[in-house]
């Protein structure tokens, strides 16, 4: 019988047996010592805390380049975290794939005023938003204008809705700008509360120029003013007259925020707009107006109600500003305008 078996096996059977043994040995070894050859590939192999460290180092290089370290002071806007540990969003500090998945059923509003001559900025604003703003998500544009019939609708992707609302046109541009806070108090309470989860408020004389996505969403979000991101606190253009409700004493405040882009959960924007509106009305009674209108009131509110997320100047830029080489992505750009011409 053994002879029969032997004749049934090929001549190389000894070699094959050795090979099988070797494979079994290797498999056993790998299982014993947990060699990671059998582990499934991890879905998100990027180490994001490492990424943040790298971004911090990169921003510190920017700082050194500007010789800002002479007083051994860290420029706050060139950090990735605020002193109260809110993230400051720069390119490279977030993983858009993870965030897009988390927000796959999030509803986002974009609030904008286009009154009087500013109607000319609306179509380029909306068209650029279709290209770069929250692409792939559910978006409602809340457009407020005195010229509803003159609005040209852009070609819009699925899941995006344009709502047009009439608003009175104030004579002074300062009043148009401030009226946004009053409209916000009404709409965040009545309409938006059931329609959206987050609201983003923007100026219309702007165009999206690169990705602006769900990384900007948070409970209360504000953007660092691009003209003051390297400035000393003392030079911020906060309202400094104690008689105004927007007053911020010297030494208080963290950043100078720009009112051309901020946002948050709908109920947070309700609280914010109520506070700013109240301040504006109280000032008006005393016949005063804060130095930068609703932006001054917004800054006052944010000193005492810290934003949970801060956007770097990547999210608000004007190509006429200095230090543009420090800002790699210019995501939302001011359209250059003749101030006198558009405001009369
Ligand atoms: C606005 O900025 C616009 O009126 C300007 O045309 C420009 O787009 C600016 O934003 C970024 O102190 C290259 C222009 C340099 C201007 C720097 C100062 C102004 O700062 C003010 C607060 C207000 O935020 C103005 O809205 C802002 O001017
Ligand atoms: N705005 C408007 N019509 C006006 C003045 C202002 O619609 O006549 C709105 C518009 O959304 C504009 C915002 O108010 O972007 C703020 O005004 P502006 O952009 O002139 O302020 P700046 O950014 O130049 O300080
Ligand atoms: Mn503007």
pLDDT tens digits, one per residue of 60-72? 888 887 766 555 5
* Dihedral of alpha carbons 135, 136, 139, 145, sign: positive
Banded pLDDT at 1 (limits 50, 70, 90) = very low
The atom number, within ligand 1, closest to the CA of 258 reads: 24
Phi then psi for residue 169, to 5 deg, are -100, 120
pLDDT at 114 over 50: yes
- Chain centroid to CA 23: how far? 53
Cβ-in-10-Å burial (0-12, 13-18, 19+) of 192 comes to: buried
In whole angstroms, give the CA distance from residue 326 to residue 65: 10
Lowest-confidence segment of 4-8, 76-80, 131-135, 315-319 by average pLDDT: 4-8
Q: Is the CB of 99 under 6 A from ligand 1?
A: no
In whole angstroms, give the CA distance from residue 333 to residue 344: 23
pLDDT at 82 over 50: yes
pLDDT at 53 over 70: yes
Share of the chain above pLDDT 90, in %: 79
299 belongs to a structural domain: yes
pLDDT at 219 over 70: yes
Q: What is the mean pLDDT of residues 123-127?
A: 98
Q: What are the strands, taking DSSP E only, across 154-312?
A: 160-166, 198-202, 206-208, 220-224, 257-265, 309-311
Residue nearest to atom 15 of ligand 1 (CA): 321
Q: Are residues 38 and 173 in the same domain?
A: no
The single residue listed with the structure tokens 């003749």 is: 338
Q: Are residues 29 and 163 in the same domain?
A: no
Q: Is the CB of 60 under 6 A from ligand 1?
A: no
Strands 332-334 and 206-208: antiparallel
Q: What is the mean pLDDT of residues 212-225?
A: 98
Q: Are residues 29 and 156 in the same domain?
A: no
53 belongs to a structural domain: no
50 belongs to a structural domain: no
Which residues, at least 6 apart from 44, have a Cβ–Cβ distance to it below 8 Å?
95, 97, 98
63 belongs to a structural domain: no
Instruction: Report the pLDDT value the prediction gives residue 344, as an integer from 0 to 100.
Output: 86
**Ligand 1 pocket test, candidate residues 209, 238, 318, 338, most atoms within 8 A of CB:** 318
Share of the chain above pLDDT 70, in %: 90
Phi then psi for residue 335, to 5 deg, are -85, 130
The atom number, within ligand 2, closest to the CA of 145 reads: 7
Lowest-confidence segment of 41-45, 166-170, 213-217, 262-266 by average pLDDT: 41-45
pLDDT at 78 over 60: yes
Range(s) of the domain holding residue 15:
1-42
Q: What is the mean pLDDT of residues 325-338?
A: 97
Instruction: Report the pLDDT value the prediction gives residue 16, as an integer from 0 to 100.
Output: 84
69 belongs to a structural domain: no
Return the bridge partners of 133, or none. 212
Instruction: Report the pLDDT value the prediction gives residue 41, as an integer from 0 to 100.
Output: 60
Instruction: Quick: pLDDT tens for 260-310.
Output: 999 999 999 999 999 999 999 999 999 999 999 999 999 999 999 999 999
Q: Are residues 7 and 80 in the same domain?
A: no
Q: What is the mean pLDDT of residues 146-156?
A: 98
Which of these is catalytic: 239, 268, 295, 314?
Answer: 295
The single residue listed with the structure tokens 């924007």 is: 269
Q: Are residues 88 and 144 in the same domain?
A: yes
Residue 78's closest CA among 63, 67, 92?
Answer: 63
Phi then psi for residue 237, to 5 deg, are -90, 45
57 belongs to a structural domain: no
318 belongs to a structural domain: yes
pLDDT at 43 over 80: no
Q: Are residues 102 and 215 in the same domain?
A: yes
118, 204 Cβ separation under 8 angstroms: yes
| 295 is known as an active-site residue | yes
Ligand 2 geometric centre to CA of 174 (Å): 8
The atom number, within ligand 2, closest to the CA of 292 reads: 25
Which residues, at least 6 apart from 326, have a Cβ–Cβ distance to it below 8 Å?
62, 65, 66
Number of domains present in the structure of the chain: 2
Q: Are residues 86 and 36 in the same domain?
A: no
The domain that holds 334 is classified in CATH as 3.90.550.10
Distances from the Cα of 14 to the Cαs of 22, 159, 269, in angstroms?
A: 12, 66, 78
Mean pLDDT taken over the chain:
92
Question: Which ligand neighbours the alpha carbon of 343 most closely?
Answer: 2
């Amino acid at each position: 019988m053994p002879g029969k078996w032997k004749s049934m096996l090929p001549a190389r059977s000894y070699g094959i047996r050795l090979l099988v043994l070797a494979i079994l040995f290797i498999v056993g070894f790998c299982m014993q010592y947990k060699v990671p050859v059998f582990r499934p590939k991890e879905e998100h192999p990027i180490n994001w805390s490492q990424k943040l460290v790298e971004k911090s180092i990169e921003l510190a290089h920017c700082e050194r380049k500007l010789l800002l370290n002479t007083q051994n002071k860290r420029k706050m806007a060139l950090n990735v975290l605020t002193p109260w540990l809110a993230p400051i969003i720069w390119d490279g500090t977030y993983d858009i794939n993870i965030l897009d998945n988390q927000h796959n059923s999030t509803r986002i509003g974009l609030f904008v005023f286009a009154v009087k001559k500013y109607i000319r900025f609306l179509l380029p604003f909306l068209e650029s938003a279709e290209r770069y703003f929250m692409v792939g998500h559910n978006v409602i544009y809340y457009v407020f204008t005195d010229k509803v019939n003159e609005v040209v609708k852009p070609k819009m992707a699925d899941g995006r809705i344009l709502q047009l609302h009439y608003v009175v046109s104030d004579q002074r541009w300062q009043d148009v700008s401030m009226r946004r806070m009053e409209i916000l108090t009404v709409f965040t309470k009545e309409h938006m509360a059931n329609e959206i989860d987050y609201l983003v408020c923007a100026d219309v004389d702007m165009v999206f120029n690169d990705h602006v996505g769900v990384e900007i969403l948070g409970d209360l979000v504000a953007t660092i003013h691009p003209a003051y991101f390297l400035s000393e606190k003392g030079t911020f253009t906060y309202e400094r007259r104690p008689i105004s409700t927007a007053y911020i004493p010297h030494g208080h405040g963290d950043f100078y925020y720009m009112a051309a882009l901020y946002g948050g959960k709908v109920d947070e924007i309700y609280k914010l707009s109520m506070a700013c509106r109240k301040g504006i009305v109280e000032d008006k009674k005393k016949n005063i107006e804060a130095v930068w209108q609703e932006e001054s009131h917004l800054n006052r509110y944010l000193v005492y109600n810290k934003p949970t997320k801060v956007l770097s100047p990547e999210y608000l830029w004007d190509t006429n500003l200095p230090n543009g080489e420090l800002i790699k992505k210019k995501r939302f750009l001011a359209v250059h305008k003749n101030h006198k011409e558009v405001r009369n």
